[in-house]
Amino acid sequence: MTDSAPHIEVMRSQLGRARGLGAGGSGTAHWWAERVTAASLLPLSTWFIVQMFRLGGADHKDVVKWGGKPVNATMLTALIITTFYHAQLGLQVIVDDYVHGKAHLPTRILVKLVTSLLGLLGVFAVIKLVAAGNRRS
């Protein structure tokens, strides 16, 4: 035995430890993102429910006027992006747990695509409402 042989106590490379990455090549980013989006959704969804009390049953004119206001448009966009980001993270865990074999990767990609597209649709709807509000005034 030579003295130069390193004594290994942890079955993990020094670089891997420094980066905080596991065998999957990723660290705690997913877990953290899920928590941070969850906490952000608490005030955002509360805001949305309050707005629905002000808007429930309203006609087209009132909804367009509401969506065109800068603060509402900002909150809506934040809510939409955070919601579908959180949904993407959560659905991904469900897919990882229950979908195995060949179907796993396509299902994961499908979840990403659908949640992203829904989020984009929401964002562009808000942009159009803002534009419509500008035309009016």
Partner 1 sequence: MSPHLQIYRYRLSMVLSITNRLTGVAATGGAALGVFWLAAAAKGPKAFATARKVTGNPVGQLVLVGWLASVVYHTVGGIRHLIWDSGKRYDKEELNKDGPVAVGVTAGVSTVLAAGLLGVAARRARALAKAGKAS
Considering only 61, 102, 135, 136, the residue that binds partner 1 (CB under 8 A) is 61
Residue 84, classified by CB atoms within 10 Å of its CB into exposed (0-12), middle (13-18) or buried (19+), is buried
Considering only 24, 57, 70, 101, the residue that binds partner 1 (CB under 8 A) is 57
User: Tokens for 93?
Assistant: 């865990």
Does 80 bind partner 1 (CB under 8 A)? Our answer is yes
Does 73 bind partner 1 (CB under 8 A)? Our answer is no
Residue 90, classified by CB atoms within 10 Å of its CB into exposed (0-12), middle (13-18) or buried (19+), is middle
Strands annotated E in the chain: none
Does 105 bind partner 1 (CB under 8 A)? Our answer is no
With CB under 8 A as the contact rule, which of the stretches 2-10, 11-19, 20-28, 125-133 interacts with partner 1? Answer: 125-133
Considering only 30, 40, 75, 122, the residue that binds partner 1 (CB under 8 A) is 122
